[in-house]
Chains A and B, each alone.
Chain A
């Protein structure tokens, strides 16, 4: 098997990545445009960033989004980890098929259906819609993603480590906290990050489940975009893209380092 780049491979990789990244780069580029028109270059300017930070509606929406995302990602990760433990460890129980169905179904469910059905539930229960209903909706669909991420790691978990801990006098609960959780930590952290970005990104479900009081950032962007493209949205997008890119790169460096550390520890333990 050849391990060099052939011309075919180089061309298709280049074209593929240009296709994936060029639109984003163009978007970032025009956020520094002097002109109000997004597609005609008129000189460098950061005025759209200044205007963005002056716009309180955007700042409010950003704050709501952040609060929803932090809270929903945290609860979703806890519930998702519990669900993963149930799927991998609990063995047989009544309603197991229904349980795993309810974990996997939201992953392929169109957002319009999830949004509509949750809204109708909230209306039937007579709850006031706003911050809390969006948060609950986000917990519901992101806990399923969290459960899948955590359980795929848990399947490969070496249970003899837990047994060793119990032999050394831990209760099952202690061994779960002291042995299982630290080993599962990378998967749990990626589950949290996934839940967090899913919540940050969601337009459809938030639009259905929100009330008059709460507008999230995607909802605000969407309503602006419907009115027309403005460099302000480009500026906002650039900031969000920067945050996510830095987050993903940091996370991948950290996991690589943790992995290297773990391998070094294993070598130490073996020698």
Chain B
């Protein structure tokens, strides 16, 4: 029932309202009643507002989560449920009965519709635009990296280092300016590096949410460009064992991915649930339309274990995950000097070409990430107390091509240990209208760097306190919050072999305020003004040396001040019959924006002269528009989608553009839903086109090479659900990316100097749920 309802809610999003029946003999003694519950805890929710869109009639749930709307005429209604802190739910209800003339029928027998509403608590800020990737859209990305999965969201692009390392970019910001919340915990790896991809197995996620814009109040420092929430499915509560097996096979790189999940409860131990999950990935050299890229294989092994116990009142959950990957770095990208780089750019293709090979050699990265997390909650008198504690250990070993030690020791080894603790208290609704939470976040982290000098060892402590309150009043939802963060950073810098310790204190306020207004059915507006901050990281403060691969000598500045972002973001959601559109506009002003500024004199080293860059601060402004449209040309049969992302990033002090900003892009899709075909249900076929413009907004002479030309990419997907015995389903899909094997380069790929992008890639995905 619940699942059906949720599905109904999803499907209804784009369908609009159903007109009322024209009735002459109207029976107006119908009744809708039901209960509103939290999907996760199954606790009733008090103070939820239920509105019948057609009549404006409404009700508020009582302490038991029950509501009742009486004296309704028969017909079809859209019932909307709103609760602060939860997603808005809409469901269609048909109030009818067979004997229309019998006015004196017992209400409870015929006219009654009993609707249970299951609400999902929203983790994302209410008034800020967030986009969720789940279901089929997520399934179609299985086997790809986290960044690649997210780039189908408008406004999200990827920063790549070759095809196997990709980082999500939100509204032009990435790395330390985008925060990833892995299952409630800040993901703490070596985020500052552009060649450091998030260490998360995307198969853990059943839902990925991208919050666009500064969201510093709820999530703390670094949430300048946006936040990515990676959320698994809730643990099962009953004893039945079930699971799924995902496989994906790719023609390019001859990559195979297998991922399985098994979950269940313990019979007769109501409330206990467990899950084990694991993923294996293996790929070889990537093929471009013209040649293979030497040493671009990947091997990945991940697993996670979850166990928990929960009732309506109390719950505890332990989660452990391990992520382990060995990524080959394209050998053609290995350069020793600026002249090496200029030579390969001049050559237009790698000097050395090889055949397909699975072996991973130097240079490569060996990365492991362990996360242990314990989450508990307790509900009392309508309040809720959450505690999440976590420990992460990130080990990143980067092996160079060089010398005798390359075979045994990494050229660079980072070991980062992070402890986090978050305590939040969600109070019960005040006057059924105001809901909110207050929270305390702590972080303790230390890092060791071994090998070639790059960044010093450091230790940091962080404390944050926040308060967010939300109000729902009729068609308006308001949200406001404030936070203070404090950080102490100890840096263990060595001058030669003498320790020269440094100490930094940083602190900053963050704030957010916003409103959502539902003007009428199918039209809503939201505006949010939020701030977020980010203290400079040890790399920006203390790095000194040649950045291999970038052919640049980079130098930090220990006087840098924290960055503060002021982000204004507004959006309009419009639905009319078979048409749906979302328009988002943003302006993100970043004070003390840290970037690498080219210096006049190059640095002369034993490997020749390198361009010299220093970390400096400026005032940067990111302005952009995201547009999403969906048009059902033929209802439920033929759907056209379009996504437009426009971004302009400007340095207000230098009066010039910023470097490495994603180019504007337009993506169009045509999806044909065949329904039942080829013995399958939900069969579909879709054709997609992506156009990425050439980045024309770059400062002059800022790069070794002009930004690459605009490109067009085509892709096709076909899929369906093959029913197996006993209601089991095998979901399949076939995808061809870069259908015409187009040779292109992307401005946000650091390897654009060395090689063209990946060529055609056909893949088959199978998902068997049992």
A binds B: no
Binding site for A on B (CB under 8 A): none
Binding site for B on A (CB under 8 A): none
